[in-house]
Chain A
């Protein structure tokens, strides 16, 4: 267990945590404008799944071009950077959509698309890219991918639990999103600072 292995797993864990924390908050962000009917959750889950699938695809493609810990860290910086506007854009975007789309099903779908596609696509890129960073031989690729899925999905489970059980009880929603962005920023920076670890890999 090298420090590089631990760092990449920690980053993957945090990516998984952020995705589900954001998804849960998404429902609460939309509720004042589109309600909390079942189709609001339908919109959010659809948009997250769609964005993750695109993110996986792009992340896989990016991993073909001289993958590095520094670039991996940059993904987190980008994710953090596009998560922050969600705090400020949520209200105006939802007002804009509310004024134009009467049906709350399509309203919630449109608002989710505008607000959550960008950060979720970037967070989705993390998984395949981290696999590429840790795989050295073909035979171990399944094991590496399995470990990373394990770690990042565990992060997702904890992100869901912590957000719904505790964070919403302690903090305002904007604070939670800001802390998620701050954590991604910090971890991305650590990745970039520790880029030297790639040389020994």
Chain B
């Protein structure tokens, strides 16, 4: 009987250790329950990460290497920088979804004349990005605490336009379904200045891949798909006019190569990986405001 009790305690202890929120070499610097997430800032041996869940299996939202803060740690963040191949000199950028602020920070540093609007729903994320990830707001970089859909509608109402719109509000446990519909993408398309583009971080696995692809095609027609074998993400680049040619992409990648060096972005490898091939089932139902069960579709293969 006593043995059984001891064994039970040992098992309990083992479970507590192995399923704890962070591993032994990680240190939680900050934890907070916001309106939308459990926000964790975790120091790992070589990097500092933002997480939106206590479960360790949940992917990091954003990470930086404190010894090399410019280096982009995540594949998808690097892939998003290929937006500069489609729109090489954006003067106005809208970023939906802040995370640790990696993308707006990099774009503000790379483009001296850029004006960036960041729309983030969760004020706690903004606070954490400022405190731990050196995200800085100034007259060129502004943060709006808003639902992205509402922000886009208001921006349209006021006749605003952007050269580049970055959609990065999808990672995490719950996908905002109203930000995946054809209507939302159409509103975003209308927000683009002539020659403007949308760069969207989307899902490469599950049924959602087909649904999302078909939704983008419905709104934008042909678009560039960027997939890298090492990443679970794919990034979509879509324009409100004709897509640039491969030669243009290559020329832009050569122009950007040096400046992107410190960010560890393999920019010259992207043009050949950016494909317009339809590699999904084109009979898939597009997502609309009437039909957008993205969270249910994410779970099914």
- Residue numbers of A with Cβ under 8 A of B are 28, 31-38, 98-99, 102, 104, 165, 168-169, 171-174
Known: A35-B121, A171-B291, A174-B290. 13 other contacts (CB 8 A): A28-B177, A28-B178, A32-B181, A34-B147, A35-B147, A35-B149, A35-B150, A36-B177, A37-B147, A102-B154, A104-B147, A172-B290, A172-B291
Residues from chain A with a CB closer than 8 A to the CB of B88 are none
How many angstroms from the CA of A172 to the CA of B286 in the assembled complex? 12
- The answer to whether B289 has its CB under 8 Å from any CB of chain A is yes
Residue pairs across A and B with Cβ atoms less than 8 A apart, 10 shown, are: A28-B289, A34-B147, A35-B147, A35-B148, A36-B178, A38-B35, A38-B36, A172-B290, A173-B290, A174-B290
- Contact A169 to B293, CB < 8 A, known contacts A31-B178, A32-B183, A36-B178: yes
- Please tell me if the beta carbons of B178 and A35 are within 8 angstroms of each other in the complex: yes
Closest Cβ of chain B to A179, distance in Å, is: 14
Closest Cβ of chain A to B37, distance in Å, is: 12
Residues from chain B with a CB closer than 8 A to the CB of A35 are 121, 146-150, 178
Q: Mark B160-191, 1 if CB is under 8 A from A, else 0.
A: 00000000000000001110010110000000
Minimal Cβ-Cβ distance residue in B for A175: B290
- Residue numbers of B with Cβ under 8 A of A are 35-36, 121, 146-150, 153-154, 157, 176-178, 181, 183-184, 288-293, 296-297
Residues from chain B with a CB closer than 8 A to the CB of A31 are 149, 177-178, 289
- Contact A36 to B289, CB < 8 A, known contacts A31-B177, A31-B178, A169-B296: no
How many angstroms from the CA of A123 to the CA of B149 in the assembled complex? 32
Residues from chain A with a CB closer than 8 A to the CB of B154 are 102
Residues from chain A with a CB closer than 8 A to the CB of B153 are 33, 98
Residues from chain B with a CB closer than 8 A to the CB of A174 are 290
- Please tell me if the beta carbons of B121 and A37 are within 8 angstroms of each other in the complex: yes
- Contact A33 to B150, CB < 8 A, known contacts A172-B291, A173-B290: yes
Select one of B35, B150, B289 contacting A34, CB under 8 A. B150
Closest Cβ of chain A to B74, distance in Å, is: 26
Closest Cβ of chain B to A99, distance in Å, is: 8
Minimal Cβ-Cβ distance residue in B for A37: B147
Residues from chain B with a CB closer than 8 A to the CB of A38 are 35-36
How many angstroms from the CA of A38 to the CA of B147 in the assembled complex? 10
How many angstroms from the CA of A88 to the CA of B102 in the assembled complex? 43
Residues from chain B with a CB closer than 8 A to the CB of A36 are 147, 176-178
How many angstroms from the CA of A36 to the CA of B177 in the assembled complex? 9
Most A CB contacts (10 A, CB to CB) among B150, B154, B181, B296 go to B150
Residues from chain B with a CB closer than 8 A to the CB of A172 are 288, 290-291
Residues from chain A with a CB closer than 8 A to the CB of B148 are 35
How many angstroms from the CA of A134 to the CA of B176 in the assembled complex? 45
Residues from chain A with a CB closer than 8 A to the CB of B292 are 28, 168
Minimal Cβ-Cβ distance residue in A for B36: A38
How many angstroms from the CA of A190 to the CA of B288 in the assembled complex? 36
Residues from chain B with a CB closer than 8 A to the CB of A173 are 289-291
Residues from chain A with a CB closer than 8 A to the CB of B297 are 169
Closest Cβ of chain B to A41, distance in Å, is: 11
